[in-house]
Amino acid sequence: MEINLLFAIDQRFVRQLKTTLYSIQKNSSATTYNVYLLHPEETTFDEELTVFCQLLGMNYYPLKMDRATLFAQAPVTERYPEIIYYRLLAHQFLPDHLEKILYLDADILCINDVVELYQMEMGDHLYAAASHTHLTNVTNVINKIRLKTYEAEGYYNSGVLLMNLKQIRKVVKAEDIFTFIENNRLNLLLPDQDILNGLYGDQFIAVSDFLFNYDVRKSAVYETTSLGKWDVNHLIEETVFLHFCGKSKPWDETYKGKFATLYKHYQHKATQLENNLNVTRQKTR
């Protein structure tokens, strides 16, 4: 079983990406992982990630983006830099032979097998993602009005995004995205996510956020809406992706979230893997 993974990061998220990759390798059953990384031209961490992926038995393929031409006019902030837009046109830079790829944010932890999600039949749909609808019913309605996506089932979170590249190449056009940005510049709150929902919200397959995009901030809501079924024990057995949404992140020293210890465990193991390699290299010198 071969899985293609897509990420978009800059220098600030190298350590976090390693943690995500380590958790995937330890908890999924695929035999081959191809890691594609969209990043700015001037980055210097390709060799570091190549070595780390080799330690995990993964293949690493960096794709350097031209910052001068990509999304030069798109709205950006410190929290939402230009790099978040890269996934929108990833199909233009990925190898033509790829038919499917799983995009993941680098603030995600994999704790169970991702193969079930990856093997999903997508038909003519462009994407598969979770909508978090039951967590934010009011917000969901507001987003539909704001983005005029009345036919869409929900407002989809783009942090876990299964991409049907074969169909996306036929439908998703750069000029449509740029036009949408220009026409909705003042309405883009979560820019890349708003664009995906605004243009293609009716071409998504909805997947369970309980399983594939569990917002760790809302653990009490998950347990309540599932009538107590989705407690921490059930989560550990069933949930595939924990998503550390929001400004507060588990790698911060001040983070006090429910799953901080779990995240730091995987972060430590990923670092330990690298440290063991460095010790081995020193002994062979």
The full length of the chain comes to 285
Percent helix / strand / coil, the chain, rounded to 5: 45, 15, 35
Q: Distance between CA atoms of 4 and 102, rounded to whole angstroms?
A: 6
Cα–Cα distance list, 254 to 46, 211, 251, 257, 262 (Å): 30, 27, 9, 9, 15
* Tens of pLDDT, residues 142-193: 555 445 544 446 789 999 999 999 999 999 998 898 888 888 877 778 888 9
Q: Supply the mean pLDDT for the chain.
A: 89
Q: Which two tokens stand for residue 230?
A: 């989705």
Q: Which two tokens stand for residue 154?
A: 């929900």
* Secondary structure class of 128 (helix, strand, coil): strand
* Tens of pLDDT, residues 32-52: 999 999 988 777 899 999 999
* Tens of pLDDT, residues 238-259: 999 999 999 999 999 999 899 9
Q: What single letter denotes the amino acid at residue 137?
A: N
* Tens of pLDDT, residues 269-283: 999 999 987 766 655
Pairing status of strand 160-164 against strand 100-104:
antiparallel
Q: Which two tokens stand for residue 164?
A: 């049907």
* Secondary structure class of 137 (helix, strand, coil): helix
Domain 2-283 has CATH 3.40.1360.10: no
Dihedral of alpha carbons 90, 95, 98, 103, sign = negative
